[in-house]
Amino acid sequence: MGAVSITLLFILIVLGVPILIAIFMYNRLVTLRNRSDNAWHQIDVQLQKRADLVPNLVETVKGYAAHEKGVFEEVTKARSIYSQAGTVKEKAEATNMLTSTLKTLFAVVENYPELKANQNFLLLQEELSGIESKIAYARQFYNDIVMTFNNTQQVFPSSIIANTFGFKPREYFEIEETKREAPKVDFK
């Protein structure tokens, strides 16, 4: 009787412990996947906000610099490419394009002192630099989570669970790193 129950206990431990570990690992992978979804959503919200700001910005600049048609077309084109982008990689590419066209737009603005003093334009500019830093922070948050998620899928033994249940590594959100400097926004 005693021997039987000891054997049963032994079998239970031998089977039970690995199953418990597997459950724990599976749950951790699911949590990380949900967290990276959530983090990606944060980036997406900010990217969308930026894209929504573009028509307004273009209109305001047009009021002062109507003949700079080429720049407006570039920006509008980049925006429409962005709105068609679906995957993380496509969105990153479209974002880079939109960023560089916006840079050209702001370079053009430098030639119009009156526009630079326009209250509405200044508000848009502040909004834009706010969104850009939020994109940078959201991207940092997302990439950190993706790194943990991908690492967990690759290291042994959680790699077994990841392969069995078809977990896929996530793409990092790679955009051109803008140099850290304080944007000059003067409301006076």
Partner 1 sequence: MVYEEISANKRKSFLLLFLFVVFFLFVGWVFGQAYGAGGAGVLIALLLALFISLITFFWGDRMVLGISRARPVDRKQNPYLANVVEGLAIAAGVPPPKTYVIEDSAPNAFATGRNPQNSAVAVTTGLLDKLNRLELEGVIAHEMSHIRNYDIRYATFVVILVGTVALLSDWMRRSFFFRGRRGKKGGAGGGLIMLIALLLAILAPIVAQLIRLAISRQREYLADANGALLTRYPEGLASALDKISKDKEPLEAANKATANLYIINPLLEHKGKLNDLFSTHPPVEDRISRLRAM
In the bound state with partner 1, the residue whose beta carbon lies nearer, of 110 and 181, is: 181
Kindly state the smallest distance separating residue 14's Cβ from partner 1, in Å.
32
Residues that bind partner 1 (CB under 8 A): 39, 42, 46, 123, 126-127, 129-131, 133-134, 136-138, 140-141, 180-183, 185
In the bound state with partner 1, the residue whose beta carbon lies nearer, of 79 and 139, is: 139
Rounded distance, CA 79 to CA 97, Å? 9
In the bound state with partner 1, the residue whose beta carbon lies nearer, of 88 and 124, is: 124
Rounded distance, CA 53 to CA 137, Å? 19
Rounded distance, CA 35 to CA 14, Å? 33
Kindly state the smallest distance separating residue 44's Cβ from partner 1, in Å.
12
Kindly state the smallest distance separating residue 165's Cβ from partner 1, in Å.
26
Burial class for 163, CB neighbours closer than 10 Å (0-12, 13-18, 19+): exposed
Instruction: Report the chain's C-alpha Rg in angstroms.
Output: 25
Rounded distance, CA 127 to CA 55, Å? 14
Kindly state the smallest distance separating residue 152's Cβ from partner 1, in Å.
18
